[in-house]
Amino acid sequence: MLRPETEADLVDAIAAAKDPLAIQGGGTRGVSCQGTPLTTERLTGVSLHEPGALTLVAAAGTPVAEVEQLLAEENQRLAFEPPDLRALLGSEGTPTLGGVFATNGAGPRRIQCGAARDFLLGVRFVDGTGTAVSNGGRVMKNVTGYDLVKLMAGAHGTLGVLSEVSLKVLPQAEATSTVVVSTGDLGAGLQAMSTALGAPYDVSGAAFNPAAGEAYIRLEGFQSSVAYRAEKLSTLLAGHGAVELRTDSANLWKGIRDVQPLVGADGDLWRISVKPGDAVRLIPALGAAQCLLDWGGGLVWAVVPKGTDVRARMAVPGHATLMRGRGFARFHPEPAPLAALSAGLRAQFDPRQILNPGLMG
């Protein structure tokens, strides 16, 4: 296991590598690649936090919990809600900030504020030749050529190994309320979420748990605004089922973020992205034992019998990622034109093909 402690160490480790490297942050995602393991877990520390400017700069191996605690002291947060999937995947380790951006992780609030990449201002990384690269800065700005900041988010270490990230943070919400709609039916649950998201009430979370038969609609902001919007939304959604208002729902949304309803479920775990309205056709076709829907139905977590080819069963357009299981590629095959672009990028950033080879095609 290679454990560089500085960016210079990371440069040396990659430049000297003769064989493939299996890149990981805190090792919480259960990703397995051929090669010598290289972890960024010792590249730690927050080098800059400017609460007034809503910006933070930290080394890639800095634990997410450390960053969240620092922000909480200033009444701020990582608005995109990075999930902690250790219990779901049966993994150990510590979630790191670099790992969050390398996987472009985001929780329920993505429907309102975007994914991790939308908060990334700048990056430092080491490419497959052992060259340190810096791109972006500490403010949002227009770019020309490759937007390496966005390109690195979601690349899973195949284009370079993050050493430092600069990001935007946001203030904590003063109040939170959740409108719970008991529908007992998948179609009705999807319709309730669609109605809520189409209303002018600034919804920050919309999820559905088929096992409980409940749709959850979250509202955040100033106390008076949340109270007004919750009342209006409760009235609007009354036609979809019994409505309950919960003002203490932090644990509920943490459970949705971390997919806790599926923890311990036996079978293969898939993460599927589709158009929200298509979930009503998708789920019956999967024969899933258990499901959880987030992002208004656009994100489906599904546990299916082991060996089930979910991609072959998808009756609607979308893409499926195998999060836990064997027998299939982890990532959905790319269309030929996109695969050609991806291969071209990897050839430029990792010409020796040593960074997580084969992980993303």
Q: With contact defined as beta carbons under 8 Å apart, do 109 and 204 qualify?
A: yes
pTM, to two decimals: 0.94
CATH 3.30.70 assigned to domain 260-324? The reply is yes
Q: With contact defined as beta carbons under 8 Å apart, do 290 and 324 qualify?
A: no
Range in 31-45, 197-211, 231-245, 248-262 the model is least confident about: 31-45
More confident site: 33 or 301: 301
What was the pLDDT predicted at 138?
54
28: confidence class by pLDDT, cuts 50, 70, 90: confident
32: confidence class by pLDDT, cuts 50, 70, 90: confident
Other Cβ atoms within 10 Å of 176 Cβ, number = 22
Task: Determine the longest span between alpha carbons in the chain, in angstroms.
Answer: 64
Fold agreement (7-171, 175-257)? no
Instruction: Determine the average pLDDT of the residues in 148-164.
Output: 93
Instruction: Note every long-range contact of 241-244, with CB atoms under 8 Å and residues 24 or more positions apart, other chains counting.
Output: 241/181, 241/182, 241/183, 241/184, 241/188, 241/192, 241/215, 242/181, 242/182, 243/179, 243/180, 243/181, 243/182, 244/179, 244/180, 244/182
CATH no. for 175-257 = 3.30.70.920
**Residue 269's beta-bridge partner residues?**
303, 324
CATH class of 7-171: alpha beta
182-217 per-position pLDDT tens digit: 998 899 999 999 999 999 999 999 999 999 999 999
Percent of the chain with pLDDT over 90: 88
Q: Where are the domains of the chain?
A: 7-171, 175-257, 260-324
